[in-house]
Amino acid sequence: MRPKASFPELPTSKYWRQPLVLSVLFMAAMPIKLSAEVDAEADRILRDMSNYMAGMETFKVDADASTDVIFQDGRKIQLTGYGTALVDRDGGLRFERQSAVGKSVLTYNGTVLSLFNEALNSWAEFPVEGGIDEAIDELRTVLSAEVIGGADLLYSDPYPGLMLEVESGEYLGETIVGGERAHHLSFRAAEVDWQLWIAAGEDPVPVKYVITSKWLTGAPQFMVQFSGFDSSISIAPDTFDFEAPEGSRRIDVTNPDISRLFVVE
């Protein structure tokens, strides 16, 4: 019998932790009350990053992600994947990923969210009205899992979701990530600890994000390192449309197999 495994508690978003309706109605309008345990410099740098990300209407970024898996016999392995995200706040989202489940493609054109797995030659799609925030929410709801590594940072305003349930935060100073100077931030929440490294130059983009499920045996982690941010890229509108390949199989969103399109089991 294959030993059972435990995965880290990846989601940290306000939309994932709380009912969607309450999050959308209240969190966007409610100012975040800063805990006395959050260092002012850490909060300032995080806000600067969030504002900068919100101001990038169109951009491309590469993501190198890993997830720890811990089996009942104590063995720990790391699942890895590499992806590229194309984001147009008004037009849509495209994310291509290579991993153990093969090449997977996610597209969202403002009305329809589609998933395709090349190895399985299978796809699924479902309507999503609103924008990229709503598409990420719906994706997490349908798959009950994290699909886009670091998706918390793709929301139109990352700050409220990141700070939800945070108990303390600290600025640890400057370090080097990917050969570049970066600010190192550390935060603690009830169930997870998370760290964020933010570029120290003129463009305060996130460069590394780590989430630790501290109460699970072995404290498994999710990690994503970002590179190649490009906000000058021109994205064709049809980039976000999906056309099913001839001979491919459609999977209904109620079918448990839908998770195999993007999630490593």
Would 239 be classed as within a structural domain?
A: yes
Give the list of residues 6+ apart from residue 1 with CB closer than 8 angstroms, or none: none
3-class SS shares of the chain: helix, strand, coil, % to 5: 25, 40, 40
> Who wins on pLDDT, 16 or 33?
33
Per the structure, the complete domain to which residue 54 belongs is given by 5-22+37-261
In a domain, 217, yes or no: yes
The verdict on residue 237 lying in a domain is yes
Question: Helix or strand or coil: residue 140?
Answer: helix
> Structural domain tally of the chain?
1
Burial class, 263, CB count within 10 angstroms (exposed 0-12 / middle 13-18 / buried 19+): middle
pLDDT one-digit tens code per residue, 61-99: 999 999 999 998 989 999 999 999 999 999 999 999 998
| Separation CA 60–CA 64 (nearest Å) | 14
Sign of CA dihedral 164, 166, 170, 174: negative
Question: Rounded to two decimals, what is the model's pTM?
Answer: 0.82
The pLDDT of residue 123: 93
Q: Please check whether residue 123 lies inside any domain of the structure.
A: yes
| CATH code for the domain of 44 | 2.50.20.10
Residue 149: the pLDDT is: 66
pLDDT of amino acid 147: 62
Reported as type and span, the H/E element at residue 159 is helix 158-163
pLDDT digits (tens, 9 = 90+) for 171-198: 999 999 999 999 999 999 999 999 999 9
The better pLDDT of the pair 9, 125 is held by 125
* Domain contains 28: no
Please compute, for residue 198, the number of CA atoms within 13 A of its CA located in the half-sphere on the CB side: 26
Q: Is residue 52 part of a domain?
A: yes
Assess contact for 155 and 136: CB atoms under 8 A. yes
Torsion sign across C-alpha atoms 143, 265, 92, 65 = positive
Flag whether 32 is in a domain: no
* Residue 258 pLDDT exceeds 90: no
Give the CA angle between residues 31, 61, 194 to the nearest 5°: 50
Q: Which of 237, 184, 231 is nearest to 61 (CA)?
A: 231
Q: Are strands 122-127 and 249-250 parallel, antiparallel or unpaired?
A: parallel
What is the band of 146 on the pLDDT scale with cuts at 50, 70, 90? low
Enumerate the H helices of 18-95 as residue ranges.
20-22, 40-55
Taking the C-alpha atoms of residue 148 and residue 45, their distance in angstroms, rounded to an integer, is 24
Closest CA to 253 of 169, 157, 138, 167: 138
In a domain, 127, yes or no: yes
